[in-house]
Amino acid sequence: MRPSRTAGALRRARGLNDLAWRARVRWDRARRHPRALWRAFALLHGAVFLALTPLMLAGGVSGDLPLYRTWASDALSAGSWPVLDFSWVYPAGALLPIVLPNVLGESLYQLVWLVMLTALNAVSLWLLTDRGRRTVENPAAWWWLLVLFLLSPVAFLRLEGFSAPMVVTALVLLGRHPRAAGLLLAAATWIKVWPAAVVGAVMVASRERATVVRSAIVVTVVVASVVALGGGLTRVDGFVTTQSSRGLQLEAPLSTPWVWMAMLRVPGASVYQNVALATREVMGPGDTWAINGSTELMLGVILALVGVLAVAAFGVPGARRRPADEHGLVLLGALTLTTAFVVFNKVGSPQYMLWIAPIVAVGLATRPTEFRVPAVMLGWAAGLTTLVFPILYRPLIDLNPFAVLVLAGRNAIVVALFGWCAVRLVEAALAGAGLEGWTLRRALGLLAPDRGLPVAATREARVLDRQG
């Protein structure tokens, strides 16, 4: 019996290896086809349309769109406009993508929404492929499609579906068309606040900062003027106060200790529904400091990181250093600041992975070696995010141990990504201060510095020593 079982196991193993080999060959063949990327784009978006067709035929909407459509209908039919008539959780610019899909009627809201998102995603993919000229062997474009697929429940049904491809487009255009990049970044920030981190990195590390700032001012003046004409200027910053009064959202990395307390039935710890904002939040012993002080902590960390980025970009007086990689610093700074927004935020939703993904996609396109690690980490985080929501969200609310463990794993990856970014940014600042041969560990005194040599040259010397 044992020999036959062993032979059967070997046959199964060979069969699996053959299957994996065939799959790899087919994938390599498909990846080299000039139209494969756009076919994958059409397949992904077509599948989303097809999956939602029964709902659209019935005049329904999914995801966060029921709430968006209610706001749009109240604005167009009853004249009750967010920001203009009452404080709102989103910046005023979000009115455009929320109200526009309703112009053809409530029954077509979902269809118009998806058409708009598909157009934006197509533009971002077109630019990632160098205006369609690099559709073969383009890991960045394939990765961007993969993330849109993994995060499809939020990428197609929440406002980040608009801001994410806008940021991809802006970062690609930054070098050659800074004015257009500035307009896009400002517009995206007025839809969801998170692109402000990208704007901050551009203002510190890019030579095009003046052009970007002027464009951002133009967009801000336009938005503020429209709000003022509608009588809502006093509420234009209402989204800030609305967010600051929130509790610890269930999925936020900062909430992890209290989620585990609630699962372990620590007295006073529990998950509850925030009815006003339609979110699940968590509370427990010691949560007061996180609720009241997390915003100040987040802003303090971000200001410190901006200072480190400034040293990396400008150096220090009297230091002898090599010219900085401007575009690389912008991307690293944007990635670090945006990830800090996620890690130190008491609010955390699945779409927050779409805050980080646009920067990684552009980094993979322009600096593939440097951004390979963030791409792998965020790919896993995106998959676990969709496993948490919507697949395991009900068990998570019920504090199922497996669901809590999956959420903790996702949050650990995001925290590790922030650590990776922070270390790289500090090392860039050390290089900017003239300490080219120092790594962060050496700066902390754990190893003796290799003075006078860049890091790459030091590593090369060590390899040569081993070979010699």
List, for residues 1-44, the tens digit of each pLDDT value: 455 567 766 777 777 777 777 777 776 776 676 789 999 999 99
Any residues with CB less than 8 A from the CB of 202 and at least 6 apart, and which? 174, 181, 185, 208, 209, 212, 330, 334
- Band of pLDDT at residue 319, cut at 50, 70 and 90: low
pLDDT of residue 23: 75
- Band of pLDDT at residue 466, cut at 50, 70 and 90: very low
Q: Is the pLDDT of residue 467 over 60?
A: no
Q: pTM score, two decimals? A: 0.89
Residue with tokens 């990049």: 181
Q: What separation in angstroms does the CA of 283 have from each of 333, 384, 395, 459? A: 33, 23, 18, 48
Q: Which residues of 138-156 are buried (b: 16+ CB within 10 A; e: fewer)?
A: bbbbbbbbbbbbbbbbbbb
Q: What separation in angstroms does the CA of 244 have from each of 66, 238, 329, 345? A: 25, 10, 30, 10
Beta bridge partners of 279: 274
Average pLDDT over residues 345-362: 96
pLDDT tens digits for range 393-411: 999 999 999 999 999 999 9
Written as six digits, the tokens of 35 are: 């139209």
Average pLDDT over residues 164-184: 97
Q: Is the pLDDT of residue 451 over 70?
A: no
Length of the chain: 468
Q: Is the pLDDT of residue 463 over 60?
A: no
pLDDT of residue 16: 73
Pairwise CA distance, residues 189 & 187, whole Å: 5
pLDDT tens digits for range 85-111: 999 999 999 999 999 999 999 999 999
Pairwise CA distance, residues 37 & 387, whole Å: 25
Pairwise CA distance, residues 354 & 149, whole Å: 12
Instruction: Give the dihedral sign, CA 392/397/400/403.
Output: positive
Across the chain, mean pLDDT equals 89
pLDDT of residue 17: 79
Q: Is the pLDDT of residue 279 over 60?
A: yes
